[in-house]
């Protein structure tokens, strides 16, 4: 056993592997220290994220250079090794290779970046990290209504971008969405007054958003092929035998959809309450307006 151990530690390959292990450990410590410095000293979260990613990539590159330098005298057999393992590795690692290709498509195609809200693979959330193999999302929705975080972190393989559509809510340069709410009004209400109140409520709540969206849309159309779009508040009406339905269409910041709906509904209800019954909210209930006349006759004795 002693002789075997001596032969093992005296073997050139063992020495090279030991050198590689120590070098990789040193590189790992160096990268961790550099990331820690970036975390503690860079306040801007985007710059901090990019700096940490750059240190990580630099660590991989440095490890590869060190490995090549240590095993440089063994590279003469590299073409033979590639020929023997190429077919098998290509088949076994096809998912890995596709993910790396997907990462390149995302990175150089600018499909999305950290901080963007996207829908991909049936999941919607904010991009937390883009790695060589996976994209990390903080998921929104699912059992939580609207676009709020549900607390679940989702890891999506990057190869999914090669076969599915990517919906990006924020990377277009125009960080607003068109949204709608519906308001049912009773048919005996003053529909003209109802429309005016809904229009006024929408313009009041969304005044600042519309002003900011106009400036953003002007910049967006300068750099993208897009037709002119209506950015102001739009109220449309439809009705059936049950009630009149008004639809309010408006622009909203993609991060404030739920809170904006709350403000709009509150403003509309408060406006309706001040009409003294001229405008009333409809509900799917049956209203009995008149009872039929019922006459009772005494039973005749036989």
Q: What is the pLDDT along the chain (302 residues), one digit of tens a residue?
A: 566 555 556 656 667 777 778 888 888 888 888 888 888 888 777 777 777 877 887 888 788 777 777 766 655 555 544 554 455 555 556 777 788 888 888 888 888 888 888 888 888 888 988 888 889 999 887 777 767 788 889 999 888 988 888 888 876 667 788 899 999 999 888 989 999 999 999 999 988 888 888 888 877 777 777 777 788 899 999 987 788 999 999 988 888 888 899 999 999 999 999 998 899 888 776 555 555 666 666 655 55
Q: What is the pLDDT at residue 232? A: 87
Burial label for 107, CB within 10 Å (0-12, 13-18, 19+), is middle
Fold of the CATH domain 101-168: SH3 type barrels. (2.30.30)
Q: What is the pLDDT at residue 34? A: 85
Q: What is the pLDDT at residue 267? A: 93
Give the separation between CA 189 and CA 287, rounded to whole angstroms.
15
Contact residues for 202 (Cβ-Cβ < 8 A; gap 6+): 233, 235, 248, 250, 264
Q: Within 13 Å of residue 273, how many CA atoms lie on the same side as its CB?
A: 6
Q: Please give the helix or strand (H or E) that residue 149 lies within, else none.
A: strand 149-157
Domain ranges of the chain: 12-73, 101-168, 176-273
Q: What is the pLDDT at residue 66? A: 78
What is the pTM (predicted TM-score) of this model?
0.61
> Could you give the strand order of the β-sheet that contains 244-253, starting from the edge strand earlier in sequence?
176-185, 244-253, 234-239
C-alpha dist (Å) from residue 76 to 60, 68, 70, 79? 23, 12, 14, 7
C-alpha dist (Å) from residue 4 to 9, 21, 170, 217, 234? 9, 22, 63, 75, 85
Q: What is the pLDDT at residue 178? A: 87
CATH class of 176-273: alpha beta
Q: What is the pLDDT at residue 71? A: 67
Give the separation between CA 130 and CA 114, rounded to whole angstroms.
7
Tokens representing residue 226 in the block: 């897009």
Contact residues for 279 (Cβ-Cβ < 8 A; gap 6+): 185, 189, 190, 193, 194, 197, 272
């Amino acid at each position: 056993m002693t002789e075997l151990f001596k032969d093992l530690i005296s073997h050139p390959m063992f020495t090279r592997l030991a050198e590689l292990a120590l070098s990789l450990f040193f590189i790992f410590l160096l990268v961790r220290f550099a990331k820690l410095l970036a975390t503690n000293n860079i306040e801007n979260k985007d710059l901090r994220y990019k700096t940490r990613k750059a240190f990580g990539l630099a660590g991989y590159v440095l490890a590869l250079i060190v490995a090549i330098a240590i095993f440089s005298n063994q590279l003469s057999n590299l073409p033979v090794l590639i020929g023997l393992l190429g077919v098998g590795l290509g088949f076994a690692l096809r998912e890995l290779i596709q993910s790396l290709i997907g990462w390149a498509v995302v990175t150089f195609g600018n499909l999305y970046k950290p901080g963007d809200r996207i829908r991909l693979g049936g999941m919607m959330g904010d991009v937390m990290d883009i790695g060589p193999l996976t994209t990390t999302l903080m998921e929104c929705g699912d059992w939580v209504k609207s676009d709020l975080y549900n607390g679940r972190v989702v890891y999506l393989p990057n190869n999914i971008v090669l076969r599915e559509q990517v919906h990006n809510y924020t990377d277009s340069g125009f960080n607003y969405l068109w949204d709608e709410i519906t308001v049912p009004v009773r048919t005996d209400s003053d529909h003209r007054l109802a429309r005016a109140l809904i229009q006024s409520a929408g313009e009041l709540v969304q005044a600042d958003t519309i002003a900011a969206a106009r400036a953003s849309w002007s910049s967006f159309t300068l750099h993208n092929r897009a037709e002119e779009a209506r950015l102001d508040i739009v109220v449309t009406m439809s009705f059936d035998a049950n009630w009149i339905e008004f639809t309010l269409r408006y622009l909203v910041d993609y991060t404030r959809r739920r809170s904006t709906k709350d403000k709009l509904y509150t403003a509309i209800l408060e406006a309706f309450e001040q009409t003294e019954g001229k405008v009333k909210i409809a509900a799917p209930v049956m209203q009995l307006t008149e009872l039929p006349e019922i006459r009772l006759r005494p039973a005749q004795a036989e």
